[in-house]
Amino acid sequence: MRKLTGDGESASSREPQDWHAIDWHRVEQFVRTTQQRIAKATLDKDWRRVKALQRSLNHSFSARALAVRRVTENQGKRTAGVDRQLWDSPALKRAAIDRLKQQRGYRPKPLRRVYIPKSNGKERPLGIPTMLDRAMQALHLLGLEPVAETTSDPNSYGFRRNRSTADAMGQIFVCTSQKASAPWVLEADIRGCFDHINHEWLVRHVPMNKTILRKWLKAGVVHQGRLSPTEEGTPQGGIISPTLANMCLNGLESNLTAHLVAQHGKTKAAKLKVNVIRYADDFVITGNSQELLETEIRPWTEAFLAQRGLQLSPEKTKVVHVDEGFDFLGWNFRKYKGKLLIKPSKKNVKAFYRKVSEIVKTHLSVKQEILIAKLNPVLRGWAQYHQPVVAKETFSRMDSLIYWRLVRWTRRRHPNKSRPWCKSRYWQRIKDRDEFAATVKTADGPLTTRLLKLVDTEIVRHEKIKGDYNPFDPAWEVYGETLRTKRMLKNMAYQYETSMLYISQNGRCALCAEPLEEGERWHDHHIVYKVAGGSDSLSNRVLLHPVCHRRLHALSLQVAKPASQRLRVQQKKTL
C-alpha cells in the first residue's frame, strides 16, 4: 500500500523529482485551499479540526515545496546560518523538500547573531537561522498564518498581508481628525518586545506544534563562537517571529474594548472614544481625557503586557494632546486650529537627509550617471512613503538641501573651477527647469538620466484597508484583488512599462497564472529572445515570478501573448 501525502499524491512516485518540473500553480492552489479551510475552522472555533488541517498541510509536498521556494527566493537567500549552507542550486532545493519530511526527530541549530545599526545610533540584534530551520519555520507558518489573520485585532497593521504603515496612518486619521474626535493620545513603546516575550505564554497560546515551537524558542544563539541560551523572546530574523509577536499582542484592542464595556457599560464606553491602532510592537491609544488614559488605560495595558513578559518603556511612553502632536511610524500627527495635519516627522527627515548625504560623500569620484542611479531609488522610495500625507513643503526643502549638497560635490571634484562652470557641466535645462542630469551615449543614441525631484511627487490620499479584511476568507477575495491591483499600480507610477504589462496580465504571472504579489522582484521576460532579434516592445514582453522564469528556460517553455492579451503556455517547437 502506497503512502499518500497531504495533497493526495503518492509520496514515492507522484512527486516531481526535478525542481523545475514542479507545477507551482497546482502547489499554490492546494496550499491556498487548505489555508481557507483552516481559517473557516478557526472562525468556528473548531480547534481539533485546525490542528488536523495544519498537520495535513505540514506533511504535504505542496507546502514543503512552497516553504523551500520562499526561503530561496527572498532577500535573505544568500545569508547563511551557523552551518554556512546555502540552497543555491535546483538540486539542493529539490533535496531540501525531502529533508522537510523529517519532522519527528527535527532539532534546530542555534541562531547566528548579527547586529544591524538603528537610527538612534544603537544596534539591533538579529538571529539568523540555518536554511533548514528557515524552511521549517516557513512550512509551519503556512498553517499558522490563517489562524493569526482570523484572530487578529481589526486595527493591527504590522507584518500582515496587504496591510501597511499607511493603513495605520489612515486609521489614526479616522480616529482623531474630526472636531468631536478623541483629543488625547497614549503614545506607547514596548521595551525590547521581541527580546522579552514569555516562552511559556507562547507555547500555551499559539495553536501549532508545541514541541517544534519550544525547540525554536530554546535553540540558543551563537556570537563570536560562544553559545548563549535563549530563555525569553523570539529572535528578530526568523520567518515566523513577526507572526508570533503579533499573536502575542493580539487582544490588546478587543480585550480592552471588552474591559471598558464591562466597567462602564456599552453606551458610556463608546463615549470614552478609546481606539487602539497598532503596527507590530508600536501602538497608540486614543481617549477623551488625559485622566482616563493615565489612570485606567495605561495600568490595564501594563497588566495585559505583563502576562506576556513585556513592559512599557517609562521614558518613551507618554500621554499627549493632539494639539501638541505626536510621532508615529515616521509621521507627525498634530492639529492646527482644529485641523489634523499629518507631516513627515523631523526625525524621519533628518535620517533621510543623512542617508542621502552619506551616498554623495562616499561617491566623490564616480561618474554623474552612477551617482544618479544610486540616489534615485532612495529618493523615490522616501517620496512614495510620504506620498499620502502633507509633504509638499518638506519635499521642497529637501530638494533644496540636496541641490546644495550636489553643488558641494561638484566643487569638490573641480576645486579650480567656478560655480557657473560646474552648473553648466552637471545641470541641464529640461522643460524650463535646471535638472541634475547626465547624457550618456548608447547604441540607440544619447540617453539622458536625471535626478528625481521630490517635489514632483503627487500627493495622493491613501485608501485604507477595511479592518475586518481576511485574506484567507473567500468572501473577501474580490475586495482583496481590487485593492491589491490599485496599490500595485500606484506604486508602479514611475514604471510605465511595468504597469502596462501588469494590467495586460490582470496582475498574474504569465506562466503559472498566480498573482504577482507586492514586494516580489518580478522578472521581465522577452517572448522572442533578444539574441534572436526580439524587440523591447510591450507586445514581446511579459512579467513572470523569478521561479517561473527559471523554470521556463530550464524546460524550454515558451509564453505566447496573443492580441487578446490572454496568455497561454506552449512547449517550444524544436526543429
DSSP single-letter state for residue 15: S
Report the C-alpha dihedral over residues 53, 57, 60, 61, rounded to 10 degrees. 160
> Do the beta carbons of residue 253 and residue 276 sit within 8 Å?
yes
C-alpha cell at 22: 514542479
- Percent of the chain past pLDDT 90, that is, above it, reads 66
Q: For position 40, what pLDDT does the model report? A: 97
Predicted confidence (pLDDT) per residue in 89-107, tens digit: 999 999 999 999 988 889 9
Q: For position 515, what pLDDT does the model report? A: 87
Phi, psi of 245 (to 5 degrees): -65, -40
Report the length, in residues, of the chain. 575
Residue 222, pLDDT above cutoff 60 = yes
Q: For position 119, what pLDDT does the model report? A: 66
Residue 574, pLDDT above cutoff 50 = no
Instruction: Give the separation between CA 251 and CA 445, rounded to whole angstroms.
Output: 61
Comparing CA positions, the residue from 12, 7, 19, 118 lying closest to residue 60 is 7
Helix axes 477-491, 496-504, angle to 10 degrees: 160
Does the CA dihedral 227-232-235-240 come out positive or negative?
positive
AA identity, residue 563 = A
**284 CB neighbour count, 10 Å cutoff:** 23
Predicted confidence (pLDDT) per residue in 43-72, tens digit: 999 999 999 999 999 999 999 999 999 999
> Do the beta carbons of residue 177 and residue 340 sit within 8 Å?
yes
> Do the beta carbons of residue 142 and residue 67 sit within 8 Å?
yes
Which is more confident, 371 or 486?
371
Residue for grid cell 492639529: 335
AA identity, residue 313 = S
C-alpha cell at 451: 535626478
Residue 388, pLDDT above cutoff 60 = yes
- Model confidence, pTM: 0.86
Predicted confidence (pLDDT) per residue in 265-287, tens digit: 999 999 999 999 999 999 999 99
Proportion of the chain in helix, strand, coil states, percent, rounded to 5: 45, 15, 35
Predicted confidence (pLDDT) per residue in 297-343, tens digit: 999 999 999 999 999 998 889 999 999 999 999 999 999 999 999 99
Cross-strand bridge partners of residue 341: 334
Q: In this structure, are strands 184-189 and 282-287 parallel, antiparallel, or unpaired?
A: antiparallel
Query: Interior CA angle at 115 toward 114 and 120, to 5°?
Result: 170
Comparing CA positions, the residue from 321, 318, 319 lying closest to residue 335 is 321
